[in-house]
């Protein structure tokens, strides 16, 4: 598959900053590699059908093979986009939870209220419960906070910190 060849070429790149070692061998400095940023965001039919072609797990398996025994983890990349936005609420389709090659489920979200984040992270929707039952890690990978949002940055951060979920921030 062309995409797998592209991933392999990227991971084969020999870094001039690390004595010419390939990126695939830099597990001490590369935490994880996304399958792709929001790889199925424009494919709602496939998301609604739980990835019938097995694209997610197939690419994760290819990535796992390319990094070999390295400590580099495979991350979902936010699969279908932001929770509570744009009809793309597919951060955790069942096939991603069941795929042994996926190590970390990444959350993408642009929610304006802390209570929406709490519902999604630890409440009734609880991505933590789903991930733990599948022996997966969770991180907030893409998150936007705007001054027009109902709850501010600190209020939203408290949800993640209380749940023990690592987060990376993107401001809007």
Tell me the pLDDT tens digit for each residue of 25-39: 999 999 999 999 988
Question: How many C-alpha atoms does 40 have within 13 Å on its Cβ side?
Answer: 29
Question: What is the model's pLDDT at position 172?
Answer: 45
Q: What is the pLDDT of residues 11-67, one digit of tens each?
A: 999 999 999 999 999 999 999 999 999 888 888 889 889 999 999 999 999 999 999
Question: What is the model's pLDDT at position 33?
Answer: 95
Q: What is the pLDDT of residues 102-141, one digit of tens each?
A: 999 998 888 888 888 888 888 777 788 888 889 999 988 8
Q: What is the pLDDT of residues 158-169, one digit of tens each?
A: 998 998 888 765
Question: What is the model's pLDDT at position 47?
Answer: 86
**Which residues, in sequence order, are CB contacts of 151 under 8 Å at separation 6+?**
112, 113, 114, 115
Q: Is the CB of residue 117 less than 8 Å from the CB of residue 109?
A: yes
Local confidence band at 143 (pLDDT 50, 70, 90 cut-offs): confident
Q: Which CATH architecture has domain 31-171?
A: Alpha-Beta Barrel (3.20)
Could you tell me the residue ranges of all domains in the chain?
31-171
Q: Taking the model in full, what pTM does it have?
A: 0.88
Residue 124 burial by Cβ neighbours in a 10 Å radius (0-12, 13-18, 19+):
exposed
Question: What is the model's pLDDT at position 116?
Answer: 84
Residue 6, number of CB atoms within 10 A of its CB: 11
Q: Which residues pair with 33 in a beta bridge?
A: 74
Max mean pLDDT among 3-17, 76-90, 125-139 falls in 3-17
pLDDT of 85 higher than 70? no
Looking at per-residue pLDDT, the higher value among 131 and 8 belongs to: 8
pLDDT of 171 higher than 50? no
Question: What is the model's pLDDT at position 87?
Answer: 52
SS (H, E, C) 129-167: HHHHHCCCEEEEEEEEECCCCCCCHHHHHHHHHHHCCCE
């Amino acid at each position: 598959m062309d995409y797998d060849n592209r991933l392999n070429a990227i991971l084969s790149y020999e870094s001039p900053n690390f004595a010419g070692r390939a990126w695939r061998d830099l597990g001490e400095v590369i935490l994880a590699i996304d399958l792709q940023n929001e790889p199925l965001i424009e494919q709602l039919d496939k998301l609604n059908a739980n990835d019938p072609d097995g694209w997610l797990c197939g690419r994760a398996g290819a990535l796992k093979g390319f990094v070999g025994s390295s400590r580099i983890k495979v991350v979902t990349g936010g699969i279908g986009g932001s929770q509570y936005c744009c009809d793309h609420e597919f951060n955790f389709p069942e096939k991603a939870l069941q795929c042994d090659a996926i190590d970390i489920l990444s959350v993408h979200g642009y929610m304006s209220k802390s209570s929406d984040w709490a519902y999604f992270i630890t409440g009734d929707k609880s991505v933590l419960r789903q991930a733990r039952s599948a022996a997966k890690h969770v991180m907030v990978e893409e998150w936007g906070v705007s001054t027009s949002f109902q709850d501010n940055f600190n209020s939203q951060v408290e949800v993640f910190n209380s749940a023990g979920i690592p987060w990376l921030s993107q401001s809007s």
